[in-house]
Amino acid sequence: MQLFVGLGNPGAKYARNRHNIGFMALDEIAAAHGFTPWKSRFQASVAEGRFGSEKVVLIKPETFMNLSGQSVGEAMRFYKLTPDDITVFHDELDLAPGKCRVKQGGGHAGHNGLRSIHAHIGPEYQRIRLGIGHPGHKDAVARYVLNDFAKAEAGWLDDLIRGIADGAPDLAKGDASRFMNAVALRVQPPREKPAKAKPEKPREDTQPEHAEDTRSAMQKLMDKFK
């Protein structure tokens, strides 16, 4: 059994924020794979489903970002799991928009949601880092992550979220490479090879460049004086 945790802030006000991309990923997984309806549990919204024989519980903490670890720790203890059974989907400033990376363990890099999870269960859980880009200056970060995605970003955002849902069964099996391939097929689909141009057929009325002269000697002489 595994826990897939999406990070974000609860409520309609924050639903389309860049900080909520983790929630968006879990919503797409639940919809695409027929998970149960969301219900309140562990101070979170929870949905359950299966990928083959593997049971997966989706968790969206409702404690606000900087207290996310409370619900994650509560759920982990209830199901008697370890950090190795937990995958956290979160926004990543240090990745370009639309990029996705899998990481096992490590620091929280100042992310308040990860910081809280570290405090409650330690750092040895898997993360799915979802690139949202950086505003360019650290003083602009808070406003940037709490603003909605721009309309111009809808294309890559939709591709990324759908790719995550496509690859979720492979992620549950522990196959990070196949998961990343599924995301890449959505974000960067293979280009079709251009069709080879067919050689043009010669026109029927086209005359050879050096046609044979069939005129008689007298005709050639007369043609000179025309």
Catalytic residue, candidates 19, 33, 90, 111: 19
Q: Kindly report, residue by residue over 138-177, the tens digit of the pLDDT.
A: 899 999 999 999 999 999 999 999 999 999 999 999 999 9
**Comparing 191 with 150, which gets the higher pLDDT?**
150
Domain count of the fold of the chain: 1
In a domain, 75, yes or no: yes
- Residue 211: its pLDDT value, please? 53
> Does the pTM of the predicted model rise above 0.85?
no
In a domain, 224, yes or no: no
The residue type at 112? N
Among 49-58, 71-80, 182-191, where is mean pLDDT lowest? 182-191
Q: Kindly report, residue by residue over 111-142, the tens digit of the pLDDT.
A: 889 999 999 999 999 999 999 999 988 899 99
Does the annotation count 19 as an active-site position?
yes
Kind and range of the H or E run holding 32: helix 21-32
Average pLDDT for residues 5-29, to the nearest whole number? 96
- Residue 213: its pLDDT value, please? 65
In a domain, 83, yes or no: yes
Percent of the chain at pLDDT exceeding 70: 84
| Distance between CA atoms of residues 55 and 81, nearest Å | 13
Nearest Cα neighbor of 103 from 85, 131, 127, 122 is: 127
Residue range(s) defining the domain that contains residue 154 = 2-187
State the CATH number of the domain containing residue 55. 3.40.50.1470
Residue 187 predicted with pLDDT over 80: yes
Contacts of range 143-147, beta carbons closer than 8 Å, 24 or more positions apart: 144/18, 145/17, 145/18, 145/19, 145/91, 145/93, 146/14, 146/17, 146/18, 146/19, 147/17, 147/18
- Residue 218: its pLDDT value, please? 64
In a domain, 223, yes or no: no
In a domain, 42, yes or no: yes
Residue 190 predicted with pLDDT over 70: no
Percent of the chain at pLDDT exceeding 90: 76
In a domain, 143, yes or no: yes
